[in-house]
Amino acid sequence: MGSLISHHSYQPAVGKLEEKEMKVNQMISELMKISAGGSPRSFGDHLEIVVLDEAEIEMLAEEMFQLSDELNEEIYSEEGEDIESSNHVILIGLKDHTPLGMDCRACGFDSCDDLAKAEENEDIFQGPNCIFRLLDLGTALGNALNTAEMFKLDHDISIRGGLAAKHLGLIDTRVCLAVKASVAAEKYHYTP
């Protein structure tokens, strides 16, 4: 009678494994987007959330390398390398919006009407912005990062990645930050 136990371990074809990993990565990116999009908000929806594909991630990294050269700032190149090696890049931005209407003065203006009438500026990002809308952006970023954490991914926020994405036209928002996440390069082990 033959043995029911195989002496050969199952090894999936490399192509099928890569295909499954790609599908899992796409699913995690979509879950991060859903998590960010489902975050609690002040009245209205003023966020735009974009999941970048592999080609767009490469374009964004290349833009950051070019900005590093143009601006003579090495940090753009360093963050570009991080983005280039990321499995997931999600852009979360604040669209044009009206102030919440609370006259809280946290934006620096005496009233929401004064904020709405204020002169626009765009040194780095467009402003001024309602503080409550910016808090909505922060909550969405936190939710996306929390989802990455649930899947034990290395994750970070890139301000410069958001700037480069706006510069490239990957997103059209007043403020944008890039959430980058990837499978941990180093595995942590217990030491005896």
pLDDT in tens, 122-135: 878 999 999 999 99
**Contact status, residue 68 vs residue 164, Cβ threshold 8 Å:** no
pLDDT at position 114: 94
- Using DSSP's 3-state secondary structure scheme, residue 8 falls into coil
Tokens of residue 11, six digits: 């090894």
- Residue numbers in the chain where pLDDT is lower than 50: 1, 3-14, 189
Q: 99 burial class (0-12, 13-18, 19+ CB within 10 angstroms)?
A: buried
pLDDT at position 123: 78
pTM: 0.84
Q: What is the CA radius of gyration of the chain?
A: 21
Measure the CA–CA gap between 145 and 156, rounded to whole angstroms: 8
pLDDT at position 8: 45
pLDDT at position 190: 55
Measure the CA–CA gap between 100 and 29, rounded to whole angstroms: 30
Q: Which residues contact 86 (CB under 8 A, 6 or more apart)?
A: 57, 180, 181, 182
Domain spans in the chain, listed from the N-terminal domain onward: 47-182
pLDDT at position 81: 95
pLDDT at position 103: 94
- β partners of residue 180: 89, 156
pLDDT at position 39: 81
pLDDT at position 14: 47
